[in-house]
Amino acid sequence: MSKSDKIFVAGHRGMVGSAIIRELENKGSKNIITRTHSELDLTNQQQVQEFFFQERPDQVYLAAAKVGGIFANDTYPADFIYQNLMIEANVIHNAFKSGVKKLLFLGSSCIYPKLADQPMREDALLSGYLEPTNEPYAVAKIAGIKLCESYNRQYSKSYGIDYRSVMPTNLYGPGDNYHLENSHVIPALIRKFHEAKVNNEERVTVWGSGKPKREFLYVDDLASASVHVMNLDKAIYDQDTSSTCSHINVGIGKDLSIAELAKILKKIIDFGGEIEFDSSKPDGSPRKLIYSTIFRNIGLTPKFNLEKGLEITYENFKNLIF
């Protein structure tokens, strides 16, 4: 990557997109281009085509997506599959048509089967049934990986394209979505504990049994990994990937139960009441720990441990106005 490369970050106002911009700016990028959702609707084929042919970026980070937690995925399955398929198809196809050589697609660890062996390796993809609550979203994300692979398989030799995918574990950090029903577990719990503390409430109810185990990565660590993977020498990338299994997991390789997470947040937020679990709400997959050979081989290690990352995130949350 040269500092003058024209880089389009799709979804730059989101948690991941904004962290990628911070990382690119830290690395000295001088030519980042962005569009808000209202300026460019990525589900609109014509708008996306016009944008790419007008701007002709050198690199694309595809961090725009319809994203949400279990409740949102379960309530709006049509929105999750339709919008994500359209965004991916429009961006990847028009990136190719307009001459973009390098693209990084952001997926998610929910692409893996519900009962995949733990830790989940990249080759567990398409080896079993998906978790039903987020199946539509996962199918769209799998399509995104396969779009990148298919364009590479058909056009990498003739056009020199190199489209890669990263599958991050659960992320958290500044810029997260704190909607009480549509958000992921960390932002939802931060908001619940904070509001319970401010309102002197006696207990906080956590959705599900508290038993499922999850892995969490601070979003700035994901952003450094994304920029690193985008610019990784092709020979190294190719060592641990193949033309039909080309995605790379990004995680820390350590998980904890939702109950343990809730205890850590209760302490950071200094909430004095009780935690109770509502087992009538869905748990999702029992465990989702990912493993990445290439990630370990590259030697990238996260800079933020969970407690440190959560403290920064809570400080950031307190500055937000709802």
Q: Which residues pair with 245 in a beta bridge?
A: 242
What's the min distance (Å) between Cβ of 149 and ligand NAP?
17
Residue 79 engages ligand NAP in binding (rule: CB under 6 A): no
Q: Which residues pair with 52 in a beta bridge?
A: none
Here the tokens at position 281 are 């709400």
Rounded CA-CA distance 44/50 in Å is 10
Cite the active site residues. 137
The closest of 125, 59, 139 to 91, measured between CA atoms, is: 59
Q: What string marks each residue from 178 to 217 as x (binds ligand NAP by CB under 6 A) or -?
A: ------x---------------------------------
- On the CB side of 8, CA atoms within 13 Å amount to 28
C-beta nearest to ligand NAP: residue: 14
Q: Which amino acid is at 75?
A: T
Q: Would you list the DSSP string of 206-257?
A: EES-S--EE-EEEHHHHHHHHHHHHTS-HHHHHHS-BTTB-EEEE--S--EE
State which residue, 199 or 322, has the beta carbon closest to ligand NAP: 322
The answer to whether 116 touches 127, Cβ cutoff 8 Å, is: yes
Here the tokens at position 91 are 């961006």
State which residue, 29 or 108, has the beta carbon closest to ligand NAP: 108
Residue 106 engages ligand NAP in binding (rule: CB under 6 A): yes
State which residue, 66 or 114, has the beta carbon closest to ligand NAP: 66
Q: What string marks each residue from 134 to 173 as x (binds ligand NAP by CB under 6 A) or -?
A: ----------------------------------x-xx--
Residue 302 engages ligand NAP in binding (rule: CB under 6 A): no
Residue 87 engages ligand NAP in binding (rule: CB under 6 A): yes
State which residue, 91 or 262, has the beta carbon closest to ligand NAP: 91
Residue 137: φ, ψ to 5°: -65, -45
Contacts (CB under 6 A) with ligand NAP, residues 6-65 = 11, 13-17, 37, 41-43, 63-65
State which residue, 170 or 292, has the beta carbon closest to ligand NAP: 170
The answer to whether 133 touches 73, Cβ cutoff 8 Å, is: yes
Applying CB under 6 A, the residues found at the interface with ligand NAP are 11, 13-17, 37, 41-43, 63-67, 83, 87, 106, 108, 168, 170-171, 177, 184
